Amino acid sequence: MTADAGRGDADRSDAEAGGGLGSRELAAAAAIALAVVLATAAFPMLVDARAAYEIPVERQAGAGDLAEPTGDAWESVETVSVPLSSSGAAVPGGSDATVDSAGVAAARTDERLYLRLSWDDGTANTSTDSLRAFADAAAVQLPVSTEKQPPIAMGSADDRVNVWYWNGADGTESLLAGGAGSTTRLPESAVEATATHTGDRWAVVFSRSLASDRANVTDVDDGEDVNAAFAVWEGSNDERSGQKAASEWYYLSLGPDDGGAPYETVLWAIAGAAVVFTTLVTVEGVRRTRGE
């Protein structure tokens, strides 16, 4: 027997005699505890990444004046600042959009969804009478199938999108798209919009009944979150068509509010257990080092 083997046997005998953990067991236990603590710390950050894209939807007993952009009913509704970016070099002039953010607020009754978009704009462009005149505009994009998240640029042939579109000169319409350049106007749109320009800011409220009995129209289920994206056109900057400022996908939190995600309780329990276990491992290591 070699000296190293003899020391290994002695370590095992000491561990067995004292009822403690061997060096390998201590190392493995410490590694497991560290992994659990790191996972516990990292997982909430992943969840927060989703939370950062949430548009809370406030449930209200009645419609009141939600259809009015400056209605008192909006005072209690949280507004989320949504960053917007230019559509990019693929579109002529697409890198020059001027609106960099929009405020988005959402409310619902038992029958109807209301979305309020607001953004800074020092000029109200509501006429297209001259050759180089373009109207201010705004849009909300929703997936036709709420179970999928389509490509952000007007969806695709397999994952189509509905677009609620408001134009300062032409009013409101509902569109269907299956990719860039495939926009089709839906007849008899159920989408309504009201707009107000006050001071240096536009505010537009889109609304539509939650349920839809039509094909190719998003059926909003009050028990499921719904993806949504937003866009703004600045008429005084000659923005139109694909030249716009647009957001990434966000989601409307229409799902049930059950007082907080249950994973939080589980994670805190795991964190507590990990801390206790790590402490015990440390104490055992100190004890063995002292030869107790």
The DSSP element (H or E) to which 114 belongs, if any, is strand 112-120
Statement: residue 202 has pLDDT above 90: yes
CA distance 94 to 260: 41
Q: Looking at residue 261, what is its pLDDT?
A: 44
CA distance 176 to 184: 5
> Based on the number of CB atoms within 10 Å of its own CB, is 82 exposed (0-12), middle (13-18) or buried (19 or more)?
buried
- Angle (deg, nearest 10), helices 262-289 and 23-51: 160
pLDDT in tens, 212-255: 878 889 988 767 899 999 999 999 999 998 899 999 999 999 87
The separation between CA 264 and the C-alpha centre of its own chain, rounded to angstroms, equals 19
pLDDT in tens, 142-192: 999 988 899 999 999 999 999 999 999 999 999 999 998 889 999 888 899
Instruction: Among 43-47, 219-223, 238-242, 275-279, name the one with the lowest average pLDDT.
Output: 43-47
Candidates 2.60.40.420, 2.60.40.1190, 2.30.40.10, 1.10.645.10; correct CATH number of 54-248? 2.60.40.1190
Whether the model pTM is above 0.75: no
Q: Looking at residue 255, what is its pLDDT?
A: 75
Residue 178 CB contacts under 8 Å (≥ 6 apart), including other chains: 154, 155, 156, 157, 158, 159, 160, 161
Q: How many Å is the Cα radius of gyration of the chain? A: 29
The DSSP element (H or E) to which 229 belongs, if any, is strand 226-233
CA distance 191 to 209: 8
Statement: residue 87 has pLDDT above 60: yes
Statement: residue 281 has pLDDT above 70: no
Residue 196 CB contacts under 8 Å (≥ 6 apart), including other chains: 68, 69, 70, 202, 203, 204
> Based on the number of CB atoms within 10 Å of its own CB, is 63 exposed (0-12), middle (13-18) or buried (19 or more)?
middle
